[in-house]
Amino acid sequence: MDRTSILGDTIDYTKELLARIKSLQEEVDLSEDSCNHLNLLNFFKQLEQNQALVRNTPR
């Protein structure tokens, strides 16, 4: 193999790795969103039926 083909292969491999990193980052972001929704659901499940969550609205 000559230097040009090695360099070309290296560039292609680097592009593949960058695409894989982007894909994995998107998966992590989706997992964090799902986790936040589950935490919120668990919070409301833990509230007793006779408890109320009250907030004052800003005026």
Residues 6 or more apart in contact with residue 47 via CB below 8 angstroms: 53
* pLDDT at 10 exceeding the cut of 90: yes
Buried b (16+ CB within 10 A) or exposed e, 6-20: eeeeeeeeeeeeeee
Q: Over the stretch 35-52, which tens digit does the pLDDT of each residue have? A: 777 777 777 777 665 566
What's the whole-model pTM score? 0.54
Domain boundaries, the chain: 1-46
pLDDT at 51: 63
Q: Over the stretch 15-36, which tens digit does the pLDDT of each residue have? A: 999 999 998 888 888 777 777 7
* pLDDT at 55 exceeding the cut of 70: no
Q: Considering Cα of 28, then 32, then 34, then 35, what sign does the dihedral take?
A: positive
Record the tokens describing residue 32, joined without a space: 């964090």
pLDDT at 48: 62
